[in-house]
């Protein structure tokens, strides 16, 4: 017999759910002969690619990991003492293995369905409590993207709150981190806000054009100042004050909240999260209770469920872009949930004493180093410091000699100038040992040609800070931070939380627009390698040649997928990508002298981040109507393009549309905008339905952001991290984001995030996905995504009307199921969402983009068997609705209205409901065999908004404040 040789283990077969037999069965159900026929009937011929993607051949998992090990090995792991908000740290292995590397945590979605997200919601409450305690303020959100963007959010927040008419200037201490100043300037300029950078010790705060100020604590050079008097004077002049602070230092230093700060921002990276060449890390923002209505980002709050038990949910829904749209002051969508969970669990595991000991050790070693360097005759400038020394040097030649010797020893310091004087900054960290201090001293000793005295670890040191800088208040006092300090206890606690959450490890998560596809283990493995996690983002670029290769390849491949000329990897969320893309368009117009072009046309069906991003970019939003079929009203678009021709900046359009349809008129739409001098921004939320079949450039777009946490397999991580790079045509490339501390290929635009390449350490996930799929595999993934969606449509449309379809009755990769007719029987779309939990499923996207609907996206990764289970659950629920409609079930006392059902409810001694316990919790045989139990009953959101509790503080300490706050939204996460 003959044996043929070919790869036996092809990754694309692991990524795509249906096998060939399932595909054939699904095609029969849809009523087509082949996938080719289905694609021809779905994707307009005018926009189809003429040739296949030109990408490297697909690799097996084993081959990819071997290749990537070589690439990662090109990164050099120096000892980094650069500081500037990034520090070496130690993620406890028990947390790394059981959260960071655990799909039960990293494949979960944003906790919109709170009843099946109680674990990560509790973890986020822990994080908020940690931030509140350490900063000395009253309320904190559940993370922002990084320190720079957190600082920018407070700038916008306080500008909108200022009662000083015509106040458009914002004071920025010259000792704020340089990358934060860069991001602040980027965000302030389009809104006409002027940054005034200066010395906080001498600045005149009486200027009536000022509305606020930001300070750094400790300062960028390491100096520690008592800001109490500054903040008091600022308040006397009706200024808001933000302090950017270092979390570890706040265990020893007086918290800014006790100095009177209105907000405290920063980065929780040094609480166990690797530097990762810049991210992802959870930025934090704490503020006063008075600002709870306007604080950006997500806040997790405590409420009660239908049984009166404590339950967590997202409160004060300041994902305000979906509520206020063009009136929004923030476009935040993605948080950094997984990173917040890591940082919060670091505090839970170590507790206040051990974290304080980390800080004490760092300061003691810094004092020891300062003394040793002083003995060598060096001029250390900081009178008071925590972990950072500032050395004033005699010459640039000496600075260069120190750098050369340090790098030869595998050490990185910070090298900079201040007022023309060369300086060296040295920041110590949690992982610094006395041997490291000796190595540092040896570098200076050799360069100076002096013999250094022996350096020993002191048993104790005296802190020489003034009394006003020494923390006396307690922190992390809640039992959660004082209980789980052994590995056994923390392991059980994390597992207990994990068991409360539904993730892709349990069942499909069919969220429309959110693309919850496979996050393959082989893609995830390199993320935790030290060669990826151990680099400082401001280390010399020659030490990061592995990263450089990843960036270059990934940019080239994403250009091929999009058809564009250039890509920026900097934006660390989809909303940030939107913003960066709009800034590129604005930069293009401004460079041509067309500063007056500021109108953005945005379809009524667009994601809420679109108008919010446009407003943040200084644009005027003009809404374009939708037709009854859900498409862009082309006549209305043409009329408005002509009406605003002199001022037209751009069109923001999603493709396929938010309604799950490939609009046939898209080329005409793009040409219309170009004819009137505008550019086309394409929202890449639905790129999962484009890859390999069409592309933004083919359609006529000029810029597009890509959600790598959707189409390119970076996990959602419970609501973040995300990455949102942008691709642009050639004439927009010069206006892509730059960075103040890194040469960004000659780009002059400012940074949109703190790190030059955003969340660099998770880019290997998408790099792996493209490597292992290859061009043919990526295209096949798109085809299967369309197949899976149309299969669900074919089986469900007789039970639930599909709201919009294309010219041939097909949907794209997602569809909208219309549930509005059930309101006549008293059944809301929320009831269906909650009932799905009893069947073991997360609901599709609820009430977006159309209220009263479900938007379903199965992705290509789900098998036919899993699709059938979901379909059967939806059909069964339809029968339950029919029972209510026919009067066989009570309109208010029925299985849908009481969903989800907990074990406690069905095990209660007395059961008074008109349906059986079995009907409640075992609606299908699959649910009986694989039951996922929600740990709380339906949550009372209104109660939680009237009684805002957003920390671990015991309930009895809160007064029942009767105030109705903003309710939840159901939009997709970017």
Q: Are 559 and 696 in contact (CB under 8 A)?
A: no
Query: What's 190's DSSP letter?
Result: G
| pLDDT (0 to 100) of residue 86 | 98
Tell me whether the omega of the peptide bond preceding residue 849 falls within 30 degrees of 0, making it cis. yes
Contact (CB, 8 A) for 621 and 615: yes
> Among the residues of 136-284, which ranges form H helices?
147-161, 178-188, 228-236, 256-259
Determine the Cα–Cα distance for residues 80 and 410; give it in Å rounded to an integer: 9
For 654-668, b/e burial (b = at least 16 CB within 10 A) is bbbbbbbbbbeebee
Q: How far apart are CA 640 and CA 423, in angstroms?
A: 56
What's the pLDDT at 960? 42
DSSP for 180-220?
Answer: HHHHHHHHHGGGTPEEEEE-TTT--TT-TTEEEEEEEES-T
Q: Where are the beta strands (DSSP E) in 543-677?
A: 566-568, 599-603, 620-624, 648-654
Q: What is the pLDDT of residue 484?
A: 98
Question: Tens of pLDDT along 433-451?
Answer: 999 999 999 999 999 999 9
| 945: confidence class by pLDDT, cuts 50, 70, 90 | confident
Model pLDDT, residue 344:
98
pLDDT for the residue 151: 98
Would you state the structure tokens that stand for residue 46, as one six-digit string? 């005018």
pLDDT digit string, tens, across residues 531-564: 999 999 999 999 999 999 999 999 999 999 999 9
Contact by Cβ (8 Å): 654, 696: no
**137 touches 261 (CB < 8 A):** yes
Work out the mean pLDDT of the chain and round it to a whole number: 94
Quick one: average pLDDT of 340-358? 98
Which residue in 581, 588, 597, 701 sits closest to 649, CA to CA? 597
Lowest mean pLDDT among 31-35, 332-336, 379-383, 796-800: 332-336
3-state secondary structure of 610: helix
Q: Are 969 and 844 in contact (CB under 8 A)?
A: no
Work out whether strand 566-568 and strand 421-427 pair parallel, antiparallel, or are unpaired: unpaired
pLDDT digits (tens, 9 = 90+) for 238-284: 999 999 999 999 999 999 999 999 999 999 999 999 999 999 999 99
Enter the tokens of residue 366.
């810094």
C-alpha distance from residue 25 to each of 16, 19, 360, 875 (Å)? 16, 10, 65, 19
Res 959 pLDDT > 70: no
Q: How open is the CA angle 44-49-52, to the nearest 5 degrees?
A: 140
Sheet holding 379-380, edge to edge: 379-380, 388-392, 421-427, 414-418
pLDDT surpassing 80 at residue 404: yes
pLDDT in tens, 851-866: 999 999 999 999 999 9
Q: What is the pLDDT of residues 202-247, one digit of tens each?
A: 999 999 999 999 999 999 999 999 999 999 999 999 999 999 999 9
Distance CA 217, CA 388 (A): 12
Task: State the Cα–Cα distance between residues 162 and 154, nearest whole angstrom.
Answer: 12
Which residues does residue 412 pair with via DSSP β-bridges, in sequence order?
Answer: 80
The arithmetic mean of pLDDT across residues 365-383, rounded, is: 97
Flag whether pLDDT at 332 surpasses 80: no
Q: Is the pLDDT of residue 63 over 50?
A: yes
Q: Does the pLDDT at position 965 exceed 50?
A: no
DSSP code per residue over 105-138: HHT---TTSGGGBHHHHHHHHHHHHHHHHHHT-S
- Residue 285 vs residues 71, 132, 214: alpha-carbon distances, Å: 36, 9, 13
- The pLDDT confidence band at residue 963, using thresholds 50, 70 and 90, is very low
Q: Residue 318 pLDDT > 60, yes or no?
A: no
Count of C-beta atoms within a 10 Å radius of residue 212: 26
State the pLDDT at residue 957.
Answer: 47
CA contacts within 13 A on the Cβ side of 197: 11
Whether the per-residue pLDDT at 683 is higher than 50: the answer is yes
- What is the pTM assigned to this prediction? 0.96
Question: So what's the pLDDT on residue 744?
Answer: 60
Give the pLDDT band of residue 612 (cuts 50, 70, 90).
Answer: confident
What is the distance between the alpha carbons of residues 812 and 42, in angstroms, rounded to a whole number?
A: 7
Instruction: Tally the C-alpha atoms within 13 A of residue 510's C-alpha that lie toward its C-beta.
Output: 33
Report the candidate in 332, 324, 317, 127 with the shortest Cα–Cα distance to residue 948: 317
Confidence at residue 609, expressed as pLDDT on a 0 to 100 scale: 83
Which pLDDT score, from 0 to 100, does residue 955 have? 38
**Does residue 950 surpass a pLDDT of 90?**
no
Percent of the chain with pLDDT over 90: 89
- Reply yes or no: is the peptide bond before residue 808 cis, omega within 30 of 0: no
Q: Which 3-state string (H, E, C) describes 475-535?
A: CCCCHHHCCCCCHHHHHHHHHHHHCCECCCCCCCCCECCCCCCCCCHHHHHHHHCHHHHCC
Question: Is residue 331 scored above 80 in pLDDT?
Answer: no
Q: Is 705:683 a contact under the CB 8 Å cutoff?
A: yes
In angstroms, the CA 268 to CA 858 distance is: 35
Segment 716-740 mean pLDDT: 95
- 898-919 burial: b if 16+ Cβ within 10 Å, else e: bbbbbeebbeeeeeebebeeee
Which residue is listed with tokens 């999603």?
Answer: 654
**Residues 40, 662: Cα–Cα separation, whole Å:** 12
DSSP state of 623: E
pLDDT digits (tens, 9 = 90+) for 746-803: 667 899 999 999 999 999 999 999 999 999 999 999 999 999 999 999 999 999 999 9
């Amino acid at each position: 017999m003959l044996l043929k040789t070919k790869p036996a283990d092809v990754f694309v077969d692991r990524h795509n759910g249906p096998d060939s037999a399932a595909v054939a069965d699904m095609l029969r159900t849809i009523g087509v002969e082949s996938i080719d026929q289905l694609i021809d009937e779905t994707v307009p011929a005018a926009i189809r690619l003429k040739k296949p993607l030109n990408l490297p051949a697909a690799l097996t998992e084993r081959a990819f990991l071997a290749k990537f090990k070589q690439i990662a090995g090109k990164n050099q792991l120096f000892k980094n003492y650069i500081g500037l908000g990034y520090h070496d740290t130690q993620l406890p292995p028990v947390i790394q293995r059981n959260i960071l590397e655990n799909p039960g945590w990293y494949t979960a979605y944003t906790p919109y369905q709170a009843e099946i997200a109680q674990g990560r919601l509790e973890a986020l409450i822990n994080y908020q409590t940690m931030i509140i305690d350490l900063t000395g303020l009253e309320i904190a959100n559940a993370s922002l993207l990084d320190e720079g963007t957190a600082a920018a959010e407070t700038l916008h927040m306080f500008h909108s709150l200022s009662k000083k008419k015509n106040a458009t200037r914002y004071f920025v201490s010259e000792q704020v981190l340089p990358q934060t100043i860069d991001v602040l300037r980027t965000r302030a300029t389009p809104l006409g806000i002027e940054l005034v950078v200066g010395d906080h010790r001498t600045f005149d705060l009486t200027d009536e054009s000022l509305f606020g100020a930001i300070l750094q604590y400790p300062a960028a050079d390491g100096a520690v100042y008592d800001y109490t008097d500054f903040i008091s004077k600022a308040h006397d002049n009706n200024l808001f004050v933000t302090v950017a602070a270092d979390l570890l230092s706040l265990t020893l230093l007086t918290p800014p909240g006790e100095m009177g700060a209105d907000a405290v921002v920063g980065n929780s990276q040094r609480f166990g999260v690797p530097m990762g060449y810049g991210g992802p890390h959870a930025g934090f923002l704490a503020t006063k209770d008075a600002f709870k209505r306007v604080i950006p980002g997500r806040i997790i709050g405590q409420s009660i469920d239908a049984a009166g038990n404590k339950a967590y949910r997202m409160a004060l829904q300041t994902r305000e872009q979906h509520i206020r749209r063009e009136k929004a002051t923030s476009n935040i969508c993605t948080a950094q949930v997984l990173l917040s969970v890591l940082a919060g669990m670091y505090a839970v595991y170590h507790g206040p004493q051990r974290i304080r000991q980390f800080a004490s050790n760092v300061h003691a070693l810094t004092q020891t180093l300062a003394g040793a360097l002083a003995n060598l005759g060096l001029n250390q400038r900081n009178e008071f410091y925590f972990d950072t020394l500032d050395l004033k040097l005699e010459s640039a030649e000496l600075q260069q000699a120190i750098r050369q010797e340090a790098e030869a020893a595998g050490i990185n310091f910070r090298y900079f100038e201040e007022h023309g004087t060369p300086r060296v900054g040295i920041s110590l960290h949690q992982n610094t040992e006395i041997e490291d201090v000796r190595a540092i001293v040896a570098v200076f000793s050799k360069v100076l040609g002096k013999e250094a005295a022996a350096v020993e670890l002191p048993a104790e040191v005296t802190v020489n800070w003034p009394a006003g800088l020494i923390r006396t208040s307690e922190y992390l006092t809640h039992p959660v931070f004082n209980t789980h300090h052994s590995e056994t206890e923390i392991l059980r606690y994390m597992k207990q939380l994990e068991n409360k959450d539904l993730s892709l490890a349990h069942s499909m998560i069919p969220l429309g627009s959110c693309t919850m596809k496979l996050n393959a283990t082989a893609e995830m493995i390199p993320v935790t390698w030290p060669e990826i996690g151990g680099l400082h983002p401001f280390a010399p670029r020659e030490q990061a040649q592995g990263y450089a290769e990843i960036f270059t390849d990934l940019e080239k491949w994403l250009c091929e997928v999009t058809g564009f000329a250039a890509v920026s990897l900097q934006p660390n969320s989809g909303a940030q990508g939107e913003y960066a893309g709009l800034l590129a368009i604005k930069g293009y117009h401004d460079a041509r002298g067309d500063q007056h072009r500021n109108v953005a046309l945005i379809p009524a069906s667009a994601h809420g981040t679109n108008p919010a991003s446009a407003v943040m970019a200084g644009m005027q939003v003009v809404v374009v109507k939708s037709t009854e079929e859900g498409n862009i009203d082309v006549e209305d678009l043409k009329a408005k393009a002509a009406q605003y021709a002199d001022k037209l900046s751009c069109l923001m359009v999603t493709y396929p549309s938010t309604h799950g349809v490939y609009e046939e008129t898209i080329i005409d739409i793009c040409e219309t905008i170009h004819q009137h001098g505008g550019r086309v921004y394409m929202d890449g939320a639905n790129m999962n339905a484009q890859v390999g079949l069409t592309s933004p450039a083919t359609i006529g777009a000029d810029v597009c952001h890509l959600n790598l946490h959707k189409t390119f397999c970076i996990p959602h991580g419970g609501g973040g991290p995300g990455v949102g790079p942008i691709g642009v045509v050639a004439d927009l490339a010069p206006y892509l984001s730059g960075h103040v501390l890194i040469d960004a290929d000659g780009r002059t635009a400012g940074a949109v995030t703190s790190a030059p390449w955003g969340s660099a350490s998770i880019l290997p996930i998408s790099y792996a996905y493209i490597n292992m799929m290859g061009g043919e595999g990526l295209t096949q993934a798109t085809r299967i995504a369309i197949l899976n969606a149309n299969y669900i449509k074919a089986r469900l449309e007789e039970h639930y009307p599909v709201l919009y379809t294309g010219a041939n009755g097909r949907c794209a990769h997602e569809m909208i199921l219309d549930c509005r007719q059930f309101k006549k029987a008293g059944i809301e779309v929320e009831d269906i969402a909650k009932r799905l939990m009893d069947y073991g499923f997360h609901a599709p996207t609820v009430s977006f983009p159309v209220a009263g609907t479900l938007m379903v996206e199965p992705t290509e990764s789900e098998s036919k068997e899993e699709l059938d289970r979901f379909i059967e659950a939806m059909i069964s629920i339809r029968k339950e609705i029919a029972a209510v409609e026919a009067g066989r079930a009570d309109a208010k006392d029925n299985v849908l209205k009481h969903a989800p059902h907990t074990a406690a409810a069905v095990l209660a001694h007395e059961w008074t409901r008109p349906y059986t316990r079995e009907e409640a919790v075992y609606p299908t045989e699959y649910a009986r065999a694989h039951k996922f139990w929600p740990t709380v009953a339906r949550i009372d959101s209104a109660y939680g908004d009237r009684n805002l509790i957003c920390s671990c503080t015991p309930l009895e300490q809160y007064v029942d404040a009767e105030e109705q706050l903003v309710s939840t939204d159901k939009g997709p996460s970017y």
